[in-house]
Structure 1
Amino acid sequence: MEQLLNQQKHIIDLAYGTAQKFILEGKPGKVIPAGLQALHFSICVYGSYSVDVIPAYLVLAEACIGADCLMQATTYLSQAQWIVLKTPDCSLAIQYKLHRDLGLLCAAKGNFEQSVYHLANDIYLASCEFGPNAIQTAGGYFHLANIFFRQNKMDIANSLYAEVTAIWHAFLMTSVQTQEQILKLQAEASPFDEDREVSKDHLTEAEQAETIQALNAILDFREQAPKQQPDETAKVLHSLAMLYYLSMDLSKAQEVGVKAFDLVNQLPQQESLEAIDHLLKLINSKPFYKT
């Protein structure tokens, strides 16, 4: 029985991971089979009304929203919402994700007022759980900015996109510094093995892909805006360069990093120039390779 339980949990992880991968690849139709497997085995292992079933409902709802099957998405989210309501001690980490998907569903239906309500709850709950400047909170700001952008409320969208960029920029600066320290320690311990990967970034592959999508969307907004804000554009480019570096896509990191450097070099205030130059040197040193 213990072996069977472990096998079922492994299937849940595999099916859920596969579903998330297809979500990020923009293939909602392929998410459904994997998501249903995750849901089936989650119910078998944890029971129909356990909060451990909610992630499967959420990934299925996201797939249905992507495939424009909004009625089915509503059904999945209603099931998840019912479980949360029946679980007074449900974690904030689950609740904020539920409100995020409810916000995305309302946006897909064109109900922007209700979407803003759910995304505001998403931001509040994520802030309570992780902090207002946490990367988990940044996702809510990003989706909320998209709603205001669709409503042509550009000043609000601009402010929220700037908040998202600031959160990610600060997180990635710290991550790059940590990575550099680890590489130095490894080089001192084994100078003949410099090119071996020595550390996994704190972000999962899915989180990296999702963040790259979000930052590229913000970059498009910045580059197409009637009123240019080159300092904000440079910050997005710098963030993307750091993210590509940490995910070991060095050629892309080099390309975006050079754009950031050239743009900052034209600004009156060049506070980030030194940091970008240092990042380019790290990229050119090739401490590890994209696999």
Structure 2
Amino acid sequence: MSLHNSKSQNSRTTEQLKKYIIDLTYSTAQKFLWDGKHEKAMPAALHALHFSTEVYGSSSVQLVPAYLLLAEACIGVGRHLQASKYLSQAQWIVLRTPDCSAAVRHRLHRSLGLLCAAEGNFEQALHHLANDIYLASSTFGLKSIEASGGCFHMANVFFRQNKMDIADSLYAELKPSKQKQFKY
């Protein structure tokens, strides 16, 4: 085997390892978020962002999931300004990627909606969550868990606005099998 082939093989192996680390750190951060351990999710999400940047470049749409994880972790610990910065980065990448999938855009709107809700900007939160539900429904189907998640968060916003009939009707739309996946 020539020296060039050996370097090429090492390069491919290194990239495969980095992609494995991205997957591992992303799923670890996601698990911490699902468990409500926002502070613990941050180091894993930062590593996912770091390795995604190394593998895909600093303006790749592949970075958006890591930015969204970081934003969600920051929202969970009350660091709204930092969450806003991560979401701005994600939004900039999405805007610069005309063929960005609806799946990525729905997740961006979900995160933007959650930040607005956490800051008490309920009208803007409802706007983003409506976009989230539309994009998730058009991609995964109206009764999908992705669309149901947006419905659940929208119901929470109406609940916080003390608009109980709207909140209750949205909660009622959620299938009982899916309700257990959400934390009230």
Do the two structures share a fold, i.e. TM-score over 0.5?
yes
In structure 1, the residue matched to 2:17 is: 7
Q: What are the superposed Cα offsets for residues 12-47 of structure 1, whole Å, 9 maximum, x if unpaired?
A: 011111111111121111111111100000000011
Q: 2:180 aligns with which of 212, 223, 234?
A: 212
In structure 2, the residue matched to 1:43 is: 53
In structure 1, the residue matched to 2:117 is: 107
In structure 1, the residue matched to 2:4 is: none
Shift of residue 212 of structure 1? Answer: 3.2
Q: What are the superposed Cα offsets for residues 64-101 of structure 1, whole Å, 9 maximum, x if unpaired?
A: 00000000000000000000000011000000000000
TM-score, normalised via structure 2 length: 0.91
Q: What are the superposed Cα offsets for residues 114-164 of structure 1, whole Å, 9 maximum, x if unpaired?
A: 000000000011111112122211000000000001111111011111111
Shift of residue 213 of structure 1? Answer: 4.4
1:145 aligns with 2:113: no
Question: 2:21 and 2:98 mapped to 1: Cα distance?
Answer: 28
Question: 1:38 and 1:129 mapped to 2: Cα distance?
Answer: 25
TM-score, normalised via structure 1 length: 0.58
Task: State which structure, 1 or 2, has the greater radius of gyration over its C-alpha atoms.
Answer: 1
- Count matched residues: 174
Greater RCO, 1 or 2 (C-alpha within 8 Å, sep 6+): 2
Q: Spell out structure 1 runs of 4+ moving beyond 6 A.
A: none
**Unpaired runs of at least 5, structure 1:** 170-210, 218-291
The equivalences for 1:251-270 within 5 A come to none
The equivalences for 1:1-291 within 5 A come to 1-165=11-175, 168=177, 212-214=180-182, 217=184
Question: 2:45 and 2:73 mapped to 1: Cα distance?
Answer: 9
Report the RMSD for the aligned CA atoms in angstroms: 1.2
Q: Secondary structure at the match of 2:180?
A: helix
